[in-house]
Amino acid sequence: MSITSTRVQNILQQFQRQRILVIGDLMLDRYIYGDVHRISPEAPVPVVHVQREKAMPGGASNVAANIRALGGQAALCGLLGRDAAGRELREILIKNSVITEGILDLPELHTTVKTRIIADRQQVCRVDWEEKPRLDEPTLDGFCKRIAVELKKSTGAILEDYGKGVLQQRVADVALSAAKSSNIPVGLDPKDYSLHLAGLTIATPNRKEAFAAAGLPETSPVADPLHDRALLEAGQRLLTKWLPKMLIITLGPQGLLLLSAEAPPHHVPTRAREVFDVSGAGDTVIATCLLALAAGAEPIEAAELANFAAGVVVGKIGTATCSPEELLAAVTNHG
């Protein structure tokens, strides 16, 4: 580990001066918590006795929530339906001080909702309601204008792609062009591998996404990621394809692999002490990385902070976030 507690404190102090714009697919995450004492007589499935329910920001909304939790300012550009779920998500975001002026409401769109049923700290199943938006040219024009306006106010941007239709090529082009004009870092959490995305500061695919985006068959991990030839080849292909200044491939229990054209590969081992739920861990990584880079952190520092933050959130149930105090404590306790 190269980052110190003192350095972390200095970077965290700069977080509150950053305004990060998150562009992408907005979702509402619902959690139904209960316990199981019997199997249904109707089918071989558990009967969950519901104890409580909770709604949280999901998708790109969760990235914004992570930025806010870390002390940064967060703004969103995305699409919501004019339905109960859309209104509920907007209310949650406003309550959490996320800037929502860049969100476009569409009367014909059904807001994406993911409902997870949790029994005895285990996810029993997930139920999704979703559809891809159909944007006509005037609507797309208006959405792109909102992106350009919001980016002028920001110190960093994140393209958060969940494959639900928001991050189209034109949207990406507008965002990358505006970010370049303002000389601010821009990150990508990828899902659509056909987009042309030259000009990224950072991309954060997971292992499966990295192989898919590189056009390679995924192989089994080896003990040391620095000796995983297939993984390194996938990373090199993505450096050529996306031309990011840095590439972070998240590796679950193996931590992170940091790649760039200017330095040798660097492995950051996982910092998780206990893993209860990996939902949203990738959102935490891209949020922490981009926020840290905007605050002046070096690439390795940003990667290590993201790894510690991810280690915090996977120790919680549900789509979770990490606070500055939790992040500093994680670094301090490890040291």
Name the active-site residue from 29, 228, 277, 283.
Answer: 283
Counting as low any pLDDT under 50, the low residues of the chain are: 275-277
The DSSP 8-state label assigned to residue 144 in this structure reads H
Nearest by Cα to 145 from 99, 190, 177, 112: 177
In the numeric block, which tokens belong to residue 273? 């002490």
Q: What angle do CA 274, 293, 73 make, to 5 degrees?
A: 85
Yes or no: domain 7-35+48-334 corresponds to CATH 3.30.70.660:
no
Q: Could you tell me if 309 and 288 are in contact, meaning their C-beta atoms sit under 8 angstroms apart?
A: yes
To the query of whether residue 120 is one of the catalytic residues in this protein, the response is no
**Could you read off the pLDDT of 43-66 as tens digits, one per residue?**
999 999 999 999 999 999 999 999
**Number of Cβ within a 10 Å radius of residue 323:** 13
pLDDT of residue 23: 98
pLDDT of residue 279: 54
pLDDT of residue 277: 44
- Written as one string, the DSSP assignment of 70-110 is TT-EEEEEEEEESSHHHHHHHHHHHHTT-EEEEEEEETTPP
Q: Could you tell me if 289 and 303 are in contact, meaning their C-beta atoms sit under 8 angstroms apart?
A: yes
pLDDT of residue 319: 62
Q: How far is CA 37 from CA 51, 228, 230, 268, in A?
A: 13, 44, 45, 41
pLDDT of residue 12: 94
Residue spans per domain, the chain: 7-35+48-334
In the numeric block, which tokens belong to residue 11? 């970077």
**Could you read off the pLDDT of 86-102 as tens digits, one per residue?**
999 999 999 999 999 99
